[in-house]
Amino acid sequence: MPVQRRWYSVLYIQVLIAIAIGIAIGYFFPKTGAALKPLGDAFIQLIKMMIAPVIFCTIVHGIASMRDMAKVGRVGVKALMYFELVSTVALAIGLLVGELLHPGAGFNIDPTTLDPKSVTGYVTRAKEEGVVAHLLAIIPSTYVDAFAKGDLLQVLLVSILTGFAISRMGALGERITQVIEAAGQVFFRIIAIIVRAAPIGAFGAMAFTIGAYGLGSLLNLAALIATFYITSILFVLVVLGLIARLAGFSILRFISYIRDELLIVLGTSSSETVLPHMMQKMEHLGASKPVVGLVIPVGYSFNLDGTNIYMTLATLFLAQATNTPLTFGQEMTILLIAMLTSKGASGVTGAGFVTLAATLSIVPDIPIQSLAILLGIDKFMSECRALTNLVGNGVATIVVSRWERELDADQLHEALGSRPEISVAHA
């Protein structure tokens, strides 16, 4: 008979309590709250330390164990097609909501009164990360450099090349694959140890956010924050909910299933903190290990639904706030540019702000210094971006697994605690 767990020993309960305490400390003792920033940073760094080796082992093992290289390509193409379709829908929804609700109307901000120095760092970084430079940056200086920097796209490239190489080595390749699988298990055990410190990380990160920016920083831009959160929630429930329904499961049950990960992301504002955990949970749902190993890591760079909604919505907000008129053609240009600049942005806090700066630097109509308006609230927005990105990547994994006929439907519904729903035929 299984031992009944105490309520206070459940991870998501601990994270919830930590977030509540962090908010209280940040509000009543702002200096103390701001000083607790290292706790959140340390937890994120501990997780980031493990992401490169975990992704490497997972992708290499997944590709090497498939044997059928045509299947690897097929899974990759299906995943990228899905990512592009859903990402475009997210970008379009951001534009549509911005046009309908006009969250920036009435601000009447004169861009010349804003301090351009406050966004200089973001603009410089955005210009350095142009399309060509961004593509070239995918190639690391050396094989080891990808792991030293922890660049997700570089690790993906190295992992895919290594996986293909090992798959062509016959019996020796099989032995190497077994060693890599064992190494991956070691890294996942380390992750399990680190995740137990999630409440401490969430406490520090939330205390810093409230202590440094204050709840008052939300009031002036409450309309934009509320619009973004409501839009993201509706996107998850309606768009991803419909996709989930067609794939044969409930989006609400899925959200409940990953509640631990969602709360950790809420506390840390970074979806990378739960990347390894999400991979394990997707396998537990019945998705095949090779598909999970390809879709989840690639999705962290190419399937950023929350970031996409934020980019187009925030762009229209800044245009409206500075009374910059935009034609339909200019809005379509923003949509096309955002489709490029959003690719490769990882789940780290602030990545969405950099991609927004990159978009505005290409669209000269909107004053680049207007980004300063959003600096104070970006930390609050990044939480919603990360949460939406996480749910989107989980749904994508199940959908692609079903397309590949490598989803155990019985295991899926048992894990979600639901009865099978009507699902579409396999693609």
Residue type, 102: H
Q: How many H-runs (helices) and E-runs (strands) does the chain carry?
A: 22, 0
Cα gap 300→279, rounded to integer Å: 12
Task: Please give the model's pTM, rounded to 2 decimal places.
Answer: 0.74
Cα gap 358→335, rounded to integer Å: 13
What pLDDT shows up at residue 425? 34
User: Measuring CA to CA, how many Å separate 211 from each of 199, 380, 393?
Assistant: 18, 13, 32
Task: Report the half-sphere exposure of 179 (CA within 13 A, side-chain side).
Answer: 7
Positive or negative: CA dihedral 31, 199, 279, 421: negative
Structure tokens at 352: 């969405």
What pLDDT shows up at residue 244? 94
Cα gap 320→227, rounded to integer Å: 14
Query: In degrees rounded to 5, what are phi and psi of residue 223?
Result: -65, -45
Under a CB-based contact definition with an 8 Å cutoff, are residues 263 and 174 in contact? no
Residues paired with 287 in a beta bridge: 407
What pLDDT shows up at residue 351? 59
Under a CB-based contact definition with an 8 Å cutoff, are residues 350 and 119 in contact? no
Helix axes 170-195, 152-167, angle to 10 degrees: 150
Cα gap 404→284, rounded to integer Å: 17
pLDDT tens for 297-313 read: 888 878 889 988 988 99
Cα gap 366→325, rounded to integer Å: 9
What pLDDT shows up at residue 251? 95
Domains along the sequence of the chain with CATH: 7-416 (1.10.3860.10)
Query: In degrees rounded to 5, what are phi and psi of residue 367?
Result: -55, 125
What pLDDT shows up at residue 423? 38
Cα gap 187→51, rounded to integer Å: 9
Burial class (CB in 10 A: 0-12, 13-18, 19+), 189: exposed
Q: Which residues of the chain fall short of a pLDDT of 70?
A: 1-5, 7-8, 66-70, 110-135, 213, 215-221, 340-354, 358, 361-364, 375-376, 418-427
